[in-house]
Structure 1
Amino acid sequence: MDIVDCHFHVYELERFKYPWPTPGMKIYRNYFPCQFEKAIEGTNVKHAIFVQCLNSSIAEAEWVIDMASRHNIIKGVVAGLDLTSPSLEEDINKLKPSGLFKGVRHILDMEKEDWIICDDVSQGLHTLAKYDITFDVLVRPHHLKYVPQVVSKHTSTKFVINHIAKPPFNTGKLDGWREDMAEIAKYPNVYCKISGLISEQEPDTWKSIDYQPYIDHILSVFGVDRCMYGSDWPVFDMVDATYKQNLKVTRNVLSKLSDADQRKIFKENAIKFYNLEL
C-alpha cells in the first residue's frame, strides 16, 4: 500500500526568519526535501504534503512549490497565508496556478487564545471556501472550545485538526480533550490528522507512552473516513526517533483496523481532502 504523508516540513534558516525552532534546539538546522526523501527510504511513503512553518508568508509557499518541480514527492502545499490580509484573494490567485496549493494553516500558539473566532479571520475562511481551499487547524486542548463555533459557521470550508490537538499523552488523561473532540467531530466538514504523536514527548519516554486510548477515541468520533496519517517530519528528531520508528507507532495504533480502513487513513482520505492529483 502506497502512503500519503499529509504533514511534513522543510525549512532553511538562512532564507527565512523562523520564530520556531529556536537556537539550541536539536532541530535548529536546515531541512530540505532531499533529506525527507532519504528519511522515507525503506517505507511505502510515495507522496507528501508540505505544511507551513511561517505565518503570513506567501514566499515560503512559493519556495516549496519551486522545489516541488525537482522533488516529485511533494504533491501539495499548505501555505501560511494571512487570513486577515486584504490581499488574501490576490495571494490565493498567485499560488493556485501551480496546482500544488491545497490549503492554509496558521500557528495559533503565536496569537491570542480566541484568534480563530475573530471577524477578520472568519472573512478569510469564507474566502478559502470560495476557492475550495482547506484550512489546517493547529490547536492545543485549550483552543478546542472555540472550534465548534467556527466550523459550524463555515460549513463549506473543509477543516482538519492537526496532531489530534496535542493532548497530554504523557499523563494518560483524556478528560476535557475527549469531550471537546467528540463535539467537534459532529461536524462533517472537519477531519483529523493522526500525526505528531511523538513529536513533543521526551527522548527517554516516548516509547513507553500508551497512545492507543487517544487514537481509539479519535476513530470512534471521526470514523475512518475522516482521519488521515501525517508524520510531522522532522519534528520528531527532537526525541531521537527515525521516520520508520515514527511510522511504526502510527501503524501499531491502527493495526486493529482492516486493510481497507487503513488504506483510507494512510492514503485515500488525504487524496480526497486535499484534492490531490496522483
Structure 2
Amino acid sequence: MADGTSVHEDYVDTHFHIWDLDHFKYPWPTSNEGPIFRTVTAAEYVDNLRKTPVKYGVFVQCLNGHPDESKWVMQQAKSWPEIKGVVGGVDLTDPNIRGTLADLCKDPLFKGVRHILDMEDPTWITREDVHKGMAVLEELGMTFDLLLRPHLLSHIPRVVAKFPRLKMVVDHIAKPYIKAKEIEQWKKDMTEIAHQSKNIYCKISGMVTEADWDSWTPEDFMPYVEHIISSFGVDRVMFGSDWPVCTLAKASLNDVFELFTKLTSSYSSEDRRKMLRDNAKEFHSLDI
C-alpha cells in the first residue's frame, strides 16, 4: 500500500491536522517537535491519504477559541474534497457562542467543537460556564471532542451524564500511558465512561506517540484496543490517524492505518467497516 497503488475504499480518517506557521500563532508544535515544526498543508495530507485505502478525512482543531482556523480549513476543502468535516476551536464560555456557531455552520463542513484541555486547569471540563456552551452544542446537534489524559477521566462520567443527547467522542483513547504499560485504572475509567451514554464514542487514534517512539510494536497496543472495543462496542469506535503528529513516532499515515488493520483483524469485515467508515459518517453526519 505504501507505493500509492492502494484500492481506495470510502473509509474515513476522523482525526488529522494541518497548520500554517505563517498564518496563525500556535502554542504547539514548537521547535522541540522538530520534524513537524513547519507548515503542514492540505495537499501534503491528501498526498499521504492517497497512499492508503482511506478516502476521506476530518480536520480537528489545533487552536482553542479560534473560529478563523476552521474557516481557513473549510476554504481549502474547496480545493481538496477529501476533507469532509471540520471540528473547530470555539470558546465554549463565550456569551456569543450561538452567533459564532451560526456563522461557522453556514458551511456544512463544520461539524463540531474541540478544546485542548492541556492548556486549562484540570477542573475546566467541570465548570458551569463551559457547560453552558456544551448545552448549546447539544441543542444544535453538534459534536464535542474530548481530548483527555488519564488524570482527567474521573470527571467525565458526570459530564456525559449531564448531556446525554450531546454526541461526544474521546480522542486518542484518552492517551493512556502505553510506554509505561499502565492500564488498570485507565480500563476502569474508560469502562465507566463508555457505559454512561450511547452518545459517547471513542477514536482509536494517537496511540503511537504514547508508546516508545523508537521501538513500538502492534502488541503494545492490543490490550488497550481490545478494551476500547469491548467497552464501547463496534458501533461507537472510529479510526483516526492523528497525522502528522504520528510521524513523531516514525509512523506514516499508512503505517497507522495498517496498525489499526492488524489490531482489528479478528473482527468481521462488516464490523471493521463500521469502525473505518459507518460510525464516522453517523457521528459527524458526513456527506459521503
- Shared topology, TM-score over 0.5? yes
The residue aligned with 1:17 is 25
Aligned equivalents of 1:184, 1:208: Cα separation in 2: 25
Write the mapping of 1:188-227 to structure 2, written as runs, cut at 5 A: 188-207=198-217, 210-227=220-237
Aligned equivalents of 2:110, 2:15: Cα separation in 1: 14
Report how far residue 208 of structure 1 moved: 6.5
1:123-176 deviation digits (Å, cap 9, x = unpaired): 000000111110000000000000011010011111000000011111222111
Report how far residue 97 of structure 1 moved: 1.4
Counterpart of 1:233 in 2: which secondary structure? coil
2:114–2:146 Cα contact (<8 Å) kept: yes
The residue aligned with 1:262 is 272
Equivalent position amino acid for 2:109 in 1: L
The residue aligned with 2:248 is 238
1:11–1:31 Cα contact (<8 Å) kept: yes
Aligned equivalents of 2:130, 2:30: Cα separation in 1: 27
The residue aligned with 1:4 is 12
State the number of aligned residues.
278
Counterpart of 2:208 in 1: which secondary structure? coil
The unaligned stretches of length 5 or more in structure 1 are none
1:103-123 deviation digits (Å, cap 9, x = unpaired): 100000000001001000100
Scaled by the length of structure 2, what TM-score is found?
0.94
Counterpart of 2:182 in 1: which secondary structure? coil
Write the mapping of 1:83-232 to structure 2, written as runs, cut at 5 A: 83-186=92-195, 187-207=197-217, 210-232=220-242
Report how far residue 86 of structure 1 moved: 1.1
1:225–1:265 Cα contact (<8 Å) kept: yes
1:169–1:209 Cα contact (<8 Å) kept: no
The percent of aligned pairs where both chains have the same amino acid is 44
1:182-204 deviation digits (Å, cap 9, x = unpaired): 00001211100011111343431
Q: How well do the aligned residues superpose, as a CA RMSD in angstroms?
A: 1.1
Scaled by the length of structure 1, what TM-score is found?
0.97
1:202-256 deviation digits (Å, cap 9, x = unpaired): 4312236510000000111100000000000000111222211111111111111
The unaligned stretches of length 5 or more in structure 2 are 1-8
